[in-house]
Copies of this chain bind each other. A is one copy, B any other.
Amino acid sequence: MNKYAEALHLVREKEPLVQCITNFVTVNDCANIILAAGGSPSMAHDVREAAEAARNARALVCNMGAIEDAPSMILAGKEMNKLGRPVVLDPVAAGGTSLRREVAAELLKEVKFSSIRGNASEIRYLAGQQTAGSGVDVSALDKITEENLKEAAEMVRALAERTGSVIAVSGKLDLVSDGKETAVLRNGCATMARITGSGCMLTSMIGAFCGAMPEDCFTATVAAMSVMGISGEVAEARRIKNGTGNATFRTDLIDAVFNMTEEQLVEGMQYEIL
């Protein structure tokens, strides 16, 4: 079986419980997309139970949108590190404010992440580059394009090597690297940036895939990103056909994950290993 199809297969077979410490803006969508993929979400985040709750889960997702829950992320993250289970980081607006710069540094110091997924501004910030991002959205100057692809791929690869985490940048072009292999993915559509939470949902889904395939978080991350990108294309085709807008697009996107087949994933994936 194709290994990306196998990752999807394993999510449906194992129904991994994914513990998400994530922000109130998109938490409902994150839970529903994990369910759509085939996993089981738990959103417990109270510092008094974060580590104990994580112990029941196959993977942990730490989303810096829930900046006030950083202490819970550290407790739960250390617990999962001890248990050898995947921990996924979404460094929301990591370089945006001094608080976020501090929290990002502390999380990276205290917890070993299997996979880190951000937009280009966030990942460039973690890589130590100057960034132009003013918050949750990627800055135009930071974006990954066919023109700067080589430079960006090397940035992502080097960050993966330095951190020992799979590094994933999502955008018009996605990049994923484990420090050795680097993949560029070309699925998705522009409307994904017109809903809140496409990034958060993707990170949550990476948690489900890593929870189902903990021995290969690179493949799991590529598979989750491809499922998301292809689902975006399905939802976009419907939006154009039906003349709907971003709210219906969001619903269709989650539905498309729910209905994604292994064949559809294998046939739809637009990727290349650099």
**Chain B residue nearest to A98 in the complex (CB):** B52
- Chain A interface residue count, CB cutoff 8 Å, equals 57
Inter-chain contact B247/A28, CB cutoff 8 Å:
no
Nearest CB of chain B from residue A166's CB, rounded to whole Å:
26
User: How many copies of this chain does one complex carry?
Assistant: 3
Inter-chain contact A251/B247, CB cutoff 8 Å:
yes
Q: How far is the CA of A98 from the CA of B51 in the complex (A)?
A: 11
Q: With A46-B67, A46-B99, A49-B97 as given contacts, are A17 and B246 in contact (CB-CB < 8 Å)?
A: no
**Chain B residue nearest to A253 in the complex (CB):** B247
Q: Does any Cβ of B come within 8 Å of A73's Cβ?
A: no
A interface, CB within 8 angstroms of B: 17, 23-29, 31-32, 35-36, 40-44, 46, 48-49, 52-53, 56-57, 65, 67-68, 93, 96-100, 134-137, 194-197, 243-248, 250-259
13 other A-B residue contacts (CB within 8 Å) besides A36-B194, A52-B97, A246-B254: A24-B43, A32-B195, A32-B196, A32-B247, A49-B98, A52-B98, A53-B135, A245-B257, A246-B255, A247-B250, A247-B252, A247-B255, A248-B255
